[in-house]
Amino acid sequence: HEVGKPLFRSAFYFKEALLQLTNNGPLNSILSTPLDVLLKLGTYKGFSEVSPIIQFTNFTSIQAILEEINGYSHIHVVDFDIGVGGHWSSFMQELAHRRGGANCSFKITAFVSHSSHHPLELHLTRENLSHFAADLNIPFEFNVLNLESVDPSALLALSSPNEAIAVNLPIGSVLNYQSIPGILRLIKQ
């Protein structure tokens, strides 16, 4: 059950993720209520406190992106696995540290499946990241696009020519394997 100690909630969500993978697609919305969203966030926080896996994967992906965007002051990340967005807080902190926060901006375009992301979860992610960016004096923009109907023109409309674009597409983050060729074409554009 999804209520209880962090370890049991983690096990519940792990089981749900495995069910999604074995069914080759999303179940009926896993996060059907605001309470489900809050329990998921609590589970994620509890898991990240007891396991170094999340910190390690976040650190390595952030370092790889930072190395590639070195020298750019306007950064646009296209994220296919936004989760709760916590990994971008440490990215912004590193941006502010490296550039002194001056003349740098950060934009995230998150592709999400509306069957697996409750609007409250996306709202909380946006609010947390916006407040964190404001505290660091980094201009910040957060956009959400529907993963089920990937439209390259929508992404191009959100991009500007003077920004570095990085893509966060972890292995396994796309549950519908038929959509992978379309996503890869979008990334190449």
Closest CA to 149 of 122, 173, 115, 99: 115
Q: What is the pLDDT of residue 105?
A: 92
Local structure of 34: helix, strand or coil: helix
The span from the CA of 135 to the CA of 144, in Å, is 22
Other Cβ atoms less than 10 A from the Cβ of 121: the count is 22
The span from the CA of 170 to the CA of 176, in Å, is 14
DSSP class of residue 30 equals: S
Is the pLDDT at 28 greater than 50, yes or no? no
Work out the mean pLDDT of the chain and round it to a whole number.
78
Q: Give pLDDT tens digits for 140-163.
A: 999 999 887 777 777 778 888 889
Min mean pLDDT across 30-34, 64-68, 119-123, 126-130 is at 30-34
pTM: 0.74
The span from the CA of 82 to the CA of 112, in Å, is 8
Q: Per mean pLDDT, which of 19-28, 44-53, 90-99 is the most reliable?
A: 90-99
Q: Which CATH class is domain 6-188?
A: alpha beta
Q: What is the pLDDT of residue 24?
A: 52
Q: Give pLDDT tens digits for 69-105.
A: 888 889 999 998 888 888 899 899 988 887 665 678 9
